[in-house]
Structure 1
Amino acid sequence: MTNARDTTLLNELLLQHDETFWLEFKQNNTDPAMIGKRCSALSNAARSRDTDYSYLVWGIEDETKKIVGTTFQPETKKVGGMVLPMWLAQRLKPSIAFEFKTVTYEDKRVVILEIPAASGSPVLFEETPYIRIGSATPKLTDYSERYQLLLNKLRTYQWENEPAISRVSDDDVLDFLDYASYFRYTGQRLPEGRTAILEHLNADRLIKKGNKNSWDITNLGAVLFAYQLSKFGSAIERKGVRFVAYKGKNRAATVSHRLDGQKGYAVGFEGLVSFINGLLPTNEHIGEALRESHPLFPELAIRELVANALIHQDMSIRGAGPLIELFEDRLEISNPGVPLMQADRMVDLPPRSRNEALAALMRRMKFCEEQGSGLDKVLTQAEIFQLPAPLFLAAEDSTRVILYGPRSFAEMTDEERIRSCYFHAVLKVLSGEKMKNNTLCARLGIQPQNAAQASKVINKAVSAGLIKPADPERPRAGYIPSWA
């Protein structure tokens, strides 16, 4: 069945008098290599000219724009035993969210290939980038000025402002986005009338004006306030948060709970955190006077780490989103993209985010702490509940934070003790103090008569280059991080 928005799109494309850098018409030329090169060329050309999408259209006569129809069926066309979309996806780097659309128009079959503009880097086909110049598709590397122009455009690219879905009506916007949650979380009164609602959404860049009387819902609007992420296509759907709980201490254990987020981050955040907290076993924490039961991991730490994964993920990595895994003894939170700073300096250095608009709106809605204070609070919570310091890991294309359950000093590994010592020194220097033997004893639950155990940890942290004496001439002055 033909989608009404696809028919509208075809009508708009047919109004173009000539092929442009972002549009090309074909009748039945379906050579796979040609399609792959065009995907690279049109995607790169679209970003160079600040256009969100480019298109290849089959079933249209090139010269006359007459609709003649096509026999091309991309979903069943095979290339070396592989269907064409999969074949293309494997040869285009980085992966882009192209989409074939089939439209029945005047009783004839028309196929549209919608190609998003390049985002993180130039799009390559079989390791070669191409560009569109007139009706030619040369290698981008042969045109240094155009290559530099594209690189300059990519530096200013903002994923949040790009359209997740285009050409939607006023009613579609209100059907696709949970606008009531937007007004509630931002502390604004829900205005009367559709026009006023749309004006507010537009002001916060959740939607933007499209062609004629339509709207584009931006990636920011979709990923935060979608009633259902799948309505925006696979590229947005796969940004949903996934949660898996295991009955053991590794991924070979039985899965007890699984949740694949289908709502926007803002719409589903509170429910997700409550769901996780509801699964946590309790741990007895000894306060000043009473023994109290608390969840295994403090809720504030979970909120901050989940929000951090949402905000700092690399949105240009297709097919990946935040992942939360709960084990018997730890919680692991991963997001696509390497951190923008070294792992052991995330707490003290000024924060940097790939997604500034997303980060600002999440903080404005109070889903996380003010800029720069979130990880401080995670570490402070770990100290209050005597958990080992969280472990921050940077992999090739992802960032992972591991929050461990309570352990006594005897149960901690040497690495956990040294890491906890380092971050204790970081928190102390951020509050204008110095770490000392007695403060580390309190942090690690070491009895005063066993203070020599804390001294051994401090010596190992000094040897590892993580901390140093605050004053080498005065050993009792305490210790500070090596970078302080």
Structure 2
Amino acid sequence: NGAAMFFGKQPERKFPHAVTRCVLFKGTTKVYIIDDKTFGGPLYQQYLQAMAWLESKLQVAYKIEGAGPREEIWEIPLTVFKEAIINALSHRDYYEQGATITIEMFDDRVEVSNPGGLLPIVAKDFGHKSMTRNPLIFGLFTRMHLVERVASGIPRMQEAMKEANLPEPEFHTDGMFTVVFKRKYSVTSDTVNDTVNDTVNEKEQEVLNLLRQQPGLNATEIAQKLGKSIPTIKRYLSSLSKSDLIEFRGAPKTGGYFLKNNVVIK
């Protein structure tokens, strides 16, 4: 079974529950769903897709010093999600057919859950001992260097959150194993959003200044004028649109971006 899930093209045909579901909620409860994606396929593919989904939702700031490459500063270190997702794929109870691995994002936290609580021997010394239900899967991830030392995942997640000045992850082990990561900035807080934007807007400000001088430019034109890649510019434009600072007008192929009428650039 482990080999089929790791190497099979569509293992979910035989194991419908062996998928990873990613859900974005509005607010701090499970009432309003904004985005809901389910990823199947080989387990490594699920890992990559889940990480890509998280990166598309999390806040990121950029630090540029001198002429060197910019440094990405994620609101929650990506390394903790790598650890949590690999742990979930490696240790979940694949015989539990009523649940899947889930990644749930709220305004104030991100939760990663997998079916199956801790094995008794692990529960007695949580964070220091490790025993997997799926040694083949765990072994394959180890050979891919996605897992380092045995029983080192929990301490690494705790250390990464501490280094980012975030609360330590919370662990819930009844029935489902869930790890909770608190977000640095609650997206519902205008004051905190201003703090996020202060760190990001150095680059976004260039886009705003350009659109003030030359309204109606599209993403390709902005990228050319600012000397940045199109994906980077699209990320800036998406952030500025979500912040209600700019809007796209016209047809998709011929339209362009404009400052919102209520936006004043100092």
Q: CA shift at 1:299, angstroms?
A: 0.8
| Structure-1 residue corresponding to 2:142 | 363
Q: Structure 1, residues 392-449: CA drift from partner, whole Å, max 9, x if none? A: 1122x21111111127xxxxxxxxxxxxxxxxxxxxxxxxxxxxxxxxxxxxxxxxxx
Q: Does 1:334 align with 2:116?
A: no
Q: Which residue of 2 aligns with 1:273?
A: 51
CA–CA distance in structure 2, aligned partners of residues 300 and 325 of structure 1: 17
350, 365, 383: which one aligns with 2:162: 383
Query: What is the CA–CA distance in structure 2 between the aligned matches of 1:369 and 1:259, rounded to whole Å?
Result: 29
Q: 1:332/1:343 Cα in 2 relative to 1: closer, same or farther (>3 Å)?
A: farther
Q: CA deviation at 1:304?
A: 0.2
Q: How many residue pairs were aligned?
A: 179
The Cα of 1:319 is off from its aligned counterpart by: 3.0
- DSSP 3-state at the match of 1:263: coil
CA distance in structure 1 between the partners assigned to 2:24 and 2:103 by the alignment:
8
Give, in angstroms, the shift of residue 320 of structure 1.
2.0
Counterpart of 1:220 in structure 2 is 2
Distance across 1 between alignment mates of 2:35 and 2:98? 22
1:399 aligns with 2:181: no
TM-score (norm 2): 0.61
Where does residue 303 of structure 1 map in the other structure? 82
Structure 2 gaps of 5+ residues are 64-70, 186-266
> Which one-letter code corresponds to 1:231 in the other structure?
R
SS in 2 for 1:354: coil
Query: For the residues of structure 1 that align with 2:10 and 2:51, how far apart are their CA atoms?
Result: 19
User: What amino acid maps onto 2:74 in structure 1?
Assistant: P
Contact 1:239/1:319 (<8 A) preserved: no
Distance in 1 between residues matched to 2:87 and 2:182, nearest whole Å: 17
Q: Which residue of 2 aligns with 1:229?
A: 11
In structure 1, what is the Cα distance between the partners aligned to 2:88 and 2:117? 11
CA displacement at 1:284 relative to structure 2: 8.3
Alpha-carbon shift at residue 337 of structure 1 (Å): 0.9
Distance 1:230 1:373, change over 3 A: closer
Question: Given the alignment, which residue of 87, 91, 94 partners 1:315?
Answer: 94
Please give the residue correspondences for 1:176-325 in structure 2 after superposition, counting only pairs within 5 Å: 219-232=1-14, 236-253=15-32, 255-282=33-60, 294-325=73-104
Distance 1:314 1:243 in 2: 18
The sequence identity of aligned pairs, in percent, is: 25
> How far did residue 283 of structure 1 move?
6.0
1:308 to partner: Cα distance: 0.7
* Matched position secondary structure for 2:94: coil
CA shift in 2, pair 1:316/1:231, >3 Å: closer
Q: Secondary structure at the match of 1:237?
A: coil
**Which has the larger displacement, 378-387 or 309-318?**
309-318
- 1:226/1:267 contact within 8 Å kept: no
Alignment of 1:449-464 (within 5 A): none
Contact 1:227 1:267 in 2 (8 A): no
Per-residue Cα deviation, 1:242-286 (whole angstroms, up to 9, x for no partner):
111112211113x2221111212113322321221121123689x
Which runs of 5 or more structure 1 residues have no equivalent in the other structure?
A: 1-218, 286-291, 408-484
> 1:300, CA displacement in angstroms?
0.6
Distance 1:369 1:406 in 2: 27
- CA distance, structure 1, for counterparts of residue 42 and residue 153 of structure 2: 22
What TM-score, normalized to structure 1?
0.35
Whole-Å separation in 1 of the counterparts to 2:22 and 2:148? 22
Conservation of the 8 A alpha-carbon contact between 2:142 and 2:148 = yes
Shift of 1:330: 0.8
Partner of 1:427: none
| Structure 2 equivalent of residue 346 of structure 1 | 126
CA RMSD after TM alignment: 2.5
